[in-house]
Structure 1
Amino acid sequence: MKNFALIGAAGYIAPRHMRAIKDTGNVLVSAYDINDSVGIIDSISPGSEFFTEFERFQEHAFRIRRDPASALDYVAVCSPNYLHHAHIAAGLRIGCDVICEKPLVPSSALLDELALIEKETGKRVYNILQLRHHQSILDLKANVAQERREQKHDVELTYITSRGKWYMESWKGDPRKSFGVATNIGVHFYDMLHFIFGKLQRNVLHYADNYKAAGYLEYESARVRWFLSIDANDLPETVKGKKPTYRSITVDGNEMEFSEGFTDLHTTSYNEILAGRGYGIEDARHCVETVEVIRTSVPSVPSPGEAHPFFSTLGKV
């Protein structure tokens, strides 16, 4: 049994981490968030300590280190994106391995900094890259590897996840804190594309604002037109009024179905980490570099055949 602490306990994704900790036979010892809407702890780990001030959380972690039986083994980080680096570093320096949500950090330079802290502390950072455990994605990866075709696959990625007015009032709507739509809702898709289709060779941005982004990615074995949005107006007419989310990935004209099978992926990720097979800093580097380029690029007019079909509805760059 391992002892866990959780940073960002009031966030949307935190309950999945709490359940993963419990379902893998471990214990949530303490949790921290500046917000106190964390009643879900009662149904998962009612004995957990809880703090709304980081200084008290950190002091408690150092104090329980004196007894090996109570000392923390892992810190899970579910805080806002812009705080990931600071919280990961704090967890490592407390003497724990750290499990963090995506995006791990916003830049390759901060990945290098985390690698240095790993060496200084002897502890490890693990990134939750749960789509790498999804069976449909594993099957597609195996098929692509087996086929070994000379011509690159033609891929179209569309992800529209409607968000209400609250979104722009929260940290997620502030690009200084979320690093923008492509990073906040797209980073796991870019990791998935790299996982399946290999090294990225071209990265072109066609459009970006606070609500949506579009562009073109070319991998070793795929040409990808992508579109991401949090605007409900972008939903296809067949979906509007019925579902708030539209997710579509086509490979050579064939739709890849992976709308199901997400329920236990965090628990699977935790099992892999605990077994010594977790994804670390270098595994996350590719998707961090991808979103870093997208975030710092100036949109350009698409070359023939490289524009996502929805680009025509966005106006000129």
Structure 2
Amino acid sequence: MKKNFALIGAAGYIAPRHMKAIKETGNELVAVLDRCDSVGIIDSYFPNADFFVEFERFDRFVDKWHREHEKRIEYVSICSPNYLHDAHIRFALRSGADAICEKPLVLNPWNIDALDVIEEETGKRVYNILQLRLHPSIVALKERVASELKRNPQKRYTIDLTYLTSRGKWYFISWKGDESKSGGIATNIGVHFYDMLTWIFGKVEESVVHLKTPYANAGSLRLAHADVRWFLSVKYDYIPEEVKAKGQRTYRSITVDGEEIEFSGGFTDLHTRSYEEILAGRGFGLQEARPSIEIVSSIRSAKPVGRVGEYHPFCRKVENV
């Protein structure tokens, strides 16, 4: 049966992927909330959806809609700024809907603890979009690692994670440049990578932060079965010259024991795949999201140690560290 959705946050980069997923899974978007009204993209998917710029009117609509139609809005999809995810998930659960939330699910582990209680009270579920767990290359890597660890449980992997996605001056004026709202660079652009790594290589045994600047974060993780060096940045200057020469402003690389894992493609339908899994009762919930949230929360509070020990080689690109 067709399900009814509401959407919180429609003007950002990721919201169209959610609209597309709702459409492609054969469901209906009933209501949309965004304080910005530059949301003409809605017409491409659900031109008849009711639209609100004020939360109070959106809240009233959601409450009245099921009373007048004798059917509830079953899901609320959340694409709002990171610091509002927790409040918007709570709204969804209290409204009798399951929540489908973009990453990061929340900013801190204790937010998950509270949401766990509200799930129990309401009988509704919280789902997090962790689309790398559905990427064919990442699934193949997990299967390979599981097979190798079955043969040799003591095996340890060496991993370098490098992700640079250039951002202009607007980034630091927007909420994304405010650590109290975005959680900082590691949270905003890295949380799904930490989820992927712990999903494949096991829980965190040690986390070290080598540097934190407004433009870059770097550190290392000792996981149950891997040693990871990671570097994340939004600064164009740090992108390798050969990548710049191609006119590209993003560089993504994951090597496992020196072997590059190719996963640059295959992203276009992962939100639809995520929705399919959620609608089939196989979505990723609070506890699946917890390890990556614990990692980014600890990074946020950690004191950088500088360029000592096993630091990522891109740290040498960063000035005054």
In structure 2, C-alpha distance between the alignment counterparts of 1:260 and 1:269, rounded to whole Å: 16
Aligned in 2, Cα 1:67/1:275: closer, same or farther, shift over 3 Å? farther
Residues 10-38 of structure 1 show CA distances to partners (whole Å, capped at 9, x for unaligned) of 11100000000000000000000000011
Hey, what does 1:66 align to over in structure 2?
67
The answer to whether residue 24 in structure 2 is matched with residue 20 in structure 1 is no
Hey, what does 2:249 align to over in structure 1?
244
Hey, what does 1:210 align to over in structure 2?
214
Hey, what does 2:270 align to over in structure 1?
265
Output the TM-score relative to the length of structure 1: 0.97
**Contact preservation (8 Å) 2:211, 2:218:** yes
**Quick check: 146-155 or 250-259, which moved more?**
146-155
Aligned in 2, Cα 1:62/1:43: closer, same or farther, shift over 3 Å? same
SS in 2 for 1:239: helix
In structure 2, C-alpha distance between the alignment counterparts of 1:162 and 1:75, rounded to whole Å: 31
**What are the within-5 Å matches in structure 2 for residues 181-196 of structure 1?**
181-196=185-200
SS in 2 for 1:50: strand
Hey, what does 1:274 align to over in structure 2?
279
In structure 1, C-alpha distance between the alignment counterparts of 2:296 and 2:168, rounded to whole Å: 24
Residues 138-172 of structure 1 show CA distances to partners (whole Å, capped at 9, x for unaligned) of 00000101011423101000000001111111111
In structure 2, C-alpha distance between the alignment counterparts of 1:139 and 1:174, rounded to whole Å: 36
**Quick check: 167-176 or 67-76, which moved more?**
67-76
Residue 9 of structure 1: how far off its partner (Å): 1.0
The answer to whether residue 220 in structure 2 is matched with residue 221 in structure 1 is no
Hey, what does 1:7 align to over in structure 2?
8
SS in 2 for 1:71: coil
Which of 233, 239, 242 is matched with 2:237 structurally? 233
Hey, what does 2:163 align to over in structure 1?
159
SS in 1 for 2:40: coil
SS in 2 for 1:102: coil
**What are the within-5 Å matches in structure 2 for residues 46-125 of structure 1?**
46-67=47-68, 69-125=70-126
Hey, what does 1:308 align to over in structure 2?
312
Residue 302 of structure 1: how far off its partner (Å): 5.2
Hey, what does 1:134 align to over in structure 2?
135
Identity, % of aligned positions: 58
Equivalent AA in structure 1 for residue 4 of structure 2: N
Residues 52-109 of structure 1 show CA distances to partners (whole Å, capped at 9, x for unaligned) of 0000001000001214654200000000001001111011111100000011111111
Residue 110 of structure 1: how far off its partner (Å): 0.6
**Contact preservation (8 Å) 2:231, 2:314:** yes
In structure 2, C-alpha distance between the alignment counterparts of 1:44 and 1:301, rounded to whole Å: 48
In structure 2, C-alpha distance between the alignment counterparts of 1:11 and 1:302, rounded to whole Å: 36
Residue 313 of structure 1: how far off its partner (Å): 2.5
Q: Size of the alignment, in residue pairs?
A: 316
In structure 2, C-alpha distance between the alignment counterparts of 1:222 and 1:92, rounded to whole Å: 37
Hey, what does 2:144 align to over in structure 1?
143
In structure 2, C-alpha distance between the alignment counterparts of 1:244 and 1:178, rounded to whole Å: 21
Deviating runs (4+, > 6 A) in structure 1? none
In structure 1, C-alpha distance between the alignment counterparts of 2:262 and 2:119, rounded to whole Å: 38
**Contact preservation (8 Å) 2:211, 2:307:** no
Which of 177, 180, 186 is matched with 1:173 structurally? 177
In structure 1, C-alpha distance between the alignment counterparts of 2:200 and 2:300, rounded to whole Å: 23
In structure 2, C-alpha distance between the alignment counterparts of 1:302 and 1:240, rounded to whole Å: 25
Residue 199 of structure 1: how far off its partner (Å): 1.1
Which segments of 5 or more consecutive residues in structure 2 lack a partner in the other structure?
Answer: none
Equivalent AA in structure 2 for residue 164 of structure 1: G
SS in 1 for 2:243: coil
Equivalent AA in structure 2 for residue 278 of structure 1: G
**Quick check: 50-59 or 140-149, which moved more?**
140-149
